[in-house]
Amino acid sequence: MKIFLTGGSGYIGRATIGELVRLGHTVEALARSERAEAAVATAGASAVRGGLTDLGVLNQAAARAEAVIHLAQATTGEEDLAAATAMQDGLGGGAYVHTGGSWVYGDTAGVRDETAPWNPPVIVAWRRAAEDAVLARGGRPVVVQPGLLYGGENRLIDAFFVQPGRDGGAVPYLGDGGNHWALIHLDDLAALYAAALSAPAGSVYLGVGGVNPTAKEVAEACARGAGLDGKTVSLSLEEARERMGPIADAFALDQQLTSAKAQRELGWRPVHTDPLSELATGV
């Protein structure tokens, strides 16, 4: 299958390109710079020069493809929806896989699935209108909602927790650290995107690995993996907001989520089911 992919030069994109190529697909990937072109080429894709605001480029690339996977992070909901619309219009009846996120469900009060009510923090509240519009269009739209990523470059956890821990001698967590995080390994997420190409129109899938450790457990594991002897430190939400900005409210969520639907309908299975061990060894 010929697939057009946005966000291909990012760490999720490169892993997804690798998985698609391994499965025998041919991939074109959006690249907004020479550096991005080199990254997608190394991953195994042909580069299409442009950015998310180049709607004509997106439309034409989608028209050449049999399916589209939209991984690139837009700066606003309006930008995300405009890009999605351009690609869906160009694609026609093929599978269009759109990226959402698990934070939109807010605190889950136990283990929940895709039927949970939305209660997003401000930083991701814009996703509702975009996802509703994507799913309402023709063709075969699908939304994948990844949990908090680990593995690979691990940017969010590394940037907001591990690197500050290295700088200060202890990895931070918020409050008492008893809130749960719904995690997924990079390689498992890449496999889920590939599996979602065969999903029925209108499907929504949580991309989580099935283990929901507490934020303090994650911090302790990361501190061991970073060579800090497991040392952690608690931040108040106010302190975290000062250091991290509005994303602190997302990290403070207590989320326990299941990917049973994706496993049941797509035959996808997460392979990485012990995130604490992997984080503790720096994998």
Domain boundaries, the chain: 2-145, 149-182+211-280
Instruction: Report residue 86 as tokens.
Output: 């351009």
Give the pLDDT confidence score for residue 262 in this predicted structure: 98
CA dist 36 and 34 (Å) reads: 5
Read off the tokens for 174. 């918020």
Which residue in the block uniquely carries the two structure tokens 């991953």?
Answer: 43
pLDDT in single tens digits along all 283 residues of the chain: 999 999 999 999 999 999 999 999 999 999 999 999 999 999 999 999 999 999 999 999 999 999 999 999 888 899 999 999 999 999 989 999 999 999 999 999 999 999 999 999 999 999 999 999 999 998 999 999 999 999 987 778 999 999 999 999 999 999 999 999 999 999 999 999 999 999 999 999 999 998 899 999 999 999 999 999 999 999 999 999 999 999 999 999 999 999 999 999 999 999 999 999 999 997 5
Q: Are 209 and 273 in contact (CB under 8 A)?
A: yes
Question: What's the CA gap between 239 and 155, in Å, rounded?
Answer: 21
CATH of 149-182+211-280, picked from 2.40.50, 3.90.25, 1.25.10, 3.30.250, is 3.90.25
Residue 5 contacts residue 16 (beta carbons within 8 Å):
yes
What's the length of the chain? 283
- Residue identified by tokens 């108040």 is 236
122: helix, strand or coil: helix
Instruction: Tell me if 111 sits within 8 A of 211, measured CB to CB.
Output: no
- pLDDT for 273 equals 94
Handedness of CA 31, 14, 214, 240 (dihedral sign): negative
Beta bridge pairs of residue 111: 256
Taking residue 42's Cβ as centre, other Cβ atoms within 10 Å add up to: 12
| Single-letter amino acid code for the residue at 131 | E
> pTM of the full predicted structure?
0.96
Best CA proximity match to 196, nearest among 23, 14, 7: 23
Predicted local distance difference test score (pLDDT) of residue 3: 98
- For 282, which DSSP code? T
How high is the pLDDT of residue 75? 82
Token couple for 13: 């994109």
Radius of gyration, alpha carbons of the chain: 18
Strand segments (E) across the chain = 2-6, 26-31, 46-49, 67-70, 95-99, 111-112, 140-146, 148-150, 171-174, 183-185, 203-207, 232-235, 256-257
| CATH, range 2-145 | 3.40.50.720
Q: Which of 261, 258, 257, 260 is nearest to 202 (CA)?
A: 261
Q: How far apart are CA 118 and CA 270, in angstroms?
A: 24
Token output for 179: 């809130």
